[in-house]
Amino acid sequence: MNFGLLFGGGAEMLAAYAKAGYKVTMTTDQAAAYRAAFFRTYPRLAVWQQRQGGGYGAIDTRTRGGRRRLGVRRFTEKLNSPIQGTAADGLKAALALLWDRRHEHPTAFAVLVAHDEILIECDATGAEGVKAWLVAAMVDGMTPFCAPVPVVVETRVGATWAAGGDQE
């Protein structure tokens, strides 16, 4: 619900997504009530959405890191570009910090980046130290883009990269 509404979804989208994704059936009126409650809880998001995407015509969007996208027309993209782009800015900063701090764990390597995840390969014996190294880089990389909102990083150590994979 959070991401759909944050990125401009309406009551019909929410009802359809709840049904398809979670097998939860709700009427459009019920979805509208949830949507209204969401924006009552987060009123500044509603103001930001209106300011960012309100009206017709193309706009230029910017990430908090300063990257811009020109001529954005679709309402959902007017909302999505600054948020997802800022997340990408923070992820790139985290990767740069991992590189700058590689002397702390010279045998650990970033082997995959997917959306907001960084997969690090390392020896099992150094996994806890590598985990702390990764968390520090992710927090330090993202904090300048979203302060004062705190950055929380979840990590998992496993033998494979899989949801709920083997814990070692």
pLDDT tens, residue by residue, 63-122: 999 999 999 999 989 999 999 999 999 999 999 999 999 999 999 999 999 888 999 999
- Residues 116-131: what's their mean pLDDT? 94
Residue 69 lies in a domain: no
Residue 147 lies in a domain: no
How does DSSP assign 103-135, residue by residue? GGSTT-EEEEEETTEEEEE--GGGHHHHHHHHH
Full residue range of the structural domain in which residue 26 is found = 1-41
Residue 82 lies in a domain: no
In the chain, the number of structural domains is 1
Residue 12 lies in a domain: yes
Residue 25 lies in a domain: yes
Instruction: Report the pLDDT value the prediction gives residue 168, as an integer from 0 to 100.
Output: 45
Buried b (16+ CB within 10 A) or exposed e, 128-137: eebbebbbbb
Please report which confidence band the pLDDT of residue 163 belongs to, taking 50, 70 and 90 as the band edges: low
118: how many CB neighbours lie within 10 A of its CB? 19
* pLDDT tens-digit series, residues 5-18: 988 889 999 999 99
Distance of alpha carbon 32 from its chain centroid, rounded?
Answer: 25
Instruction: Report the pLDDT value the prediction gives residue 54, as an integer from 0 to 100.
Output: 67
* pLDDT tens-digit series, residues 19-50: 999 999 999 999 999 999 999 999 999 999 98
